[in-house]
């Protein structure tokens, strides 16, 4: 079967990105990045980090010190600058009754690359700043169409692709958040049943910071020829992060995670993937490889990786799942 030139072309690595003389990013090794921590205090314990990390993710306190304390300090400066700009604009417009809206951080990247761990670690670190901000975390999983809808539309095998999300609901949620509305509902999702939970929501009530995590949150959209306003999810972000790794590494992590889940969560009789717990190891491995090649790899190449250059910060992981390089967009 013939492939398109795009499919046959190897994805550009962050190293190639760095070699571009016109790159909009500054690049740092993890050791260089760690120095930006300055006097930012470590407010997490080893037990807390272990509780926050996803299965197969080896992040520990050393990694928090190396990467996440500097990131916390950077985000603190962005939040403070945003608040200052808000106050200056209010004075310019002679507005005194307007409440500052949440600072929204978007986190994107492939499946199995560690987005959830990054989001949870950041949430805890940011909430422990001296100012004690209120920090909420929402994932895009709840905005997927229910499985029944995906089956009816023949989209179940494209779950996680842009067309499998209720973009209208996503945009309405973020619009309400940025408008400073109280008690905004975010739909809930169960990874056990692999489906949206009907009539179950979590309430997001005017946080100081909202972390919004999902594989496609930096996705762009086709623009209309007539100039109508077509909002994108990333339009609501004040800062965005892309978790990056070599394609072969993500492949390995995905398969390893699948095989671990087969020994743990998949054994729950109510798990959507329970059937994979009873098949042979070779059959399970073949299924994991098939899911990677025909769904997740395609989504990575077609929809996720192309959004990487839109991020404000890129965290590149090495083979050991730990950050090796950081790219920060120039101002």
Q: Residue ranges per domain, the chain?
A: 18-138+240-329
Q: What per-residue confidence (pLDDT) applies to 98?
A: 76
Give residue 262's pLDDT band: very low, low, confident or very high (50, 70, 90): very high
Arithmetic mean of pLDDT, 271-275: 95
Q: What per-residue confidence (pLDDT) applies to 140?
A: 98
Does the pLDDT at position 153 exceed 90?
yes
Rounded-to-integer distance, Cα 237 and Cα 318, Å: 27
Q: In the numeric block, which tokens belong to residue 331? A: 């101002």
Q: In the numeric block, which tokens belong to residue 102? A: 């949440």
Does the pLDDT at position 145 exceed 90?
yes
pLDDT, one tens digit per residue, over 24-72 is: 999 999 999 999 999 999 999 999 999 999 988 999 999 999 999 999 9
**Percent of the chain residues past pLDDT 70, beyond the cut:** 96
Shortest CA distance to 74 belongs to which of 246, 273, 238? 238
Rounded-to-integer distance, Cα 305 and Cα 319, Å: 18
The string of DSSP codes covering 46-100 is HHHHHHHSPTT----HHHIIIIIHHHHHHHHHHHHHHHHHHHHHHHHTT--SPPP
What integer best gives the mean pLDDT of the chain? 93
Query: Pick the residue with more confidence: 208 or 96?
Result: 208
Arithmetic mean of pLDDT, 240-261: 97
Which contacts qualify for 82-87: CB closer than 8 Å, 24 or more apart?
Answer: 82/238
| Residues 245/110, Cβ–Cβ less than 8 Å | yes
pLDDT, one tens digit per residue, over 277-316 is: 999 999 999 999 999 999 999 999 999 999 999 999 999 9
pLDDT, one tens digit per residue, over 86-136 is: 989 988 999 877 777 899 999 999 999 999 999 999 999 999 999 999 999
> Could you give the residue ranges of the DSSP H alpha helices within 154-293?
167-178, 247-263, 281-291
Q: What per-residue confidence (pLDDT) applies to 8?
A: 42
Q: What per-residue confidence (pLDDT) applies to 229?
A: 85
Does the pLDDT at position 7 exceed 70?
no
Arithmetic mean of pLDDT, 167-192: 96
Cα 103 to the chain's mean position, in Å?
Answer: 16
Q: Could you give the 3-state DSSP secondary structure of residue 327?
A: strand
Arithmetic mean of pLDDT, 242-270: 96
| Residues 137/159, Cβ–Cβ less than 8 Å | no
**Percent of the chain residues past pLDDT 90, beyond the cut:** 85
Rounded-to-integer distance, Cα 331 and Cα 328, Å: 9
Does the pLDDT at position 1 exceed 50?
no
Does the pLDDT at position 22 exceed 90?
no
Shortest CA distance to 322 belongs to which of 253, 264, 257? 253
Rounded-to-integer distance, Cα 168 and Cα 236, Å: 14
Burial of 149 (0-12, 13-18, 19+ CB in 10 A): middle
Q: Which fold has domain 18-138+240-329?
A: Rossmann fold (3.40.50)
Shortest CA distance to 26 belongs to which of 313, 255, 320? 313
Single pTM value for the model: 0.93
Does the pLDDT at position 6 exceed 80?
no
CA dihedral 313, 250, 136, 73 (to 10 degrees): -30
Give residue 2's pLDDT band: very low, low, confident or very high (50, 70, 90): very low
């Amino acid at each position: 079967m013939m492939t398109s030139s795009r499919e046959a072309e190897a994805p550009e690595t962050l190293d190639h990105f760095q070699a571009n003389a016109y790159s909009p990013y500054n690049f740092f090794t993890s050791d260089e990045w760690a120095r930006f921590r300055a006097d930012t205090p470590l407010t997490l314990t080893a037990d807390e980090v272990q509780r926050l990390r996803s299965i197969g993710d080896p992040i520990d306190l050393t990694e928090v010190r190396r990467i996440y304390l500097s990131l916390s300090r950077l985000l603190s400066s962005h939040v403070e600058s945003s608040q200052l700009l808000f106050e200056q604009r209010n004075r310019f417009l002679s507005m005194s009754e307007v409440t500052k809206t949440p600072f929204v951080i978007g986190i994107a990247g492939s499946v199995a690359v560690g987005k959830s761990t990054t989001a949870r670690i950041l949430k805890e670190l940011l909430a422990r700043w001296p100012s004690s901000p209120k920090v909420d975390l929402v994932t895009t999983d709840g905005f997927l169409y229910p499985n029944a809808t995906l089956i009816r539309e023949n989209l179940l095998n494209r779950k996680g692709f842009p067309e499998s999300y209720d973009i209208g609901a996503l945009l309405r949620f973020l619009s309400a958040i940025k408008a400073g509305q109280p008690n905004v509902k975010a739909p809930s999702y169960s990874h056990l049943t692999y489906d949206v939970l009907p009539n179950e929501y979590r309430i997001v009530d005017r946080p100081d910071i909202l972390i919004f995590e999902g594989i496609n949150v930096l996705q762009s959209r086709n623009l209309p020829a007539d100039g109508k306003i077509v909002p994108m999810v990333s339009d609501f972000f004040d800062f965005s992060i892309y978790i990056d790794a070599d394609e072969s590494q993500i492949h390995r992590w995905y398969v390893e995670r699948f095989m671990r889940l087969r020994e743990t969560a998949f054994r729950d009789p109510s798990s959507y993937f329970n059937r994979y717990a009873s098949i042979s190891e070779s059959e399970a491995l073949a299924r994991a490889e098939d899911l990677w090649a025909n769904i997740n790899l395609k989504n990575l190449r077609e929809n996720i990786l192309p959004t990487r250059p839109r991020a404000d910060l890129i965290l590149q992981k090495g083979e050991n799942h730990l950050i090796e390089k950081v790219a920060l967009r120039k101002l």
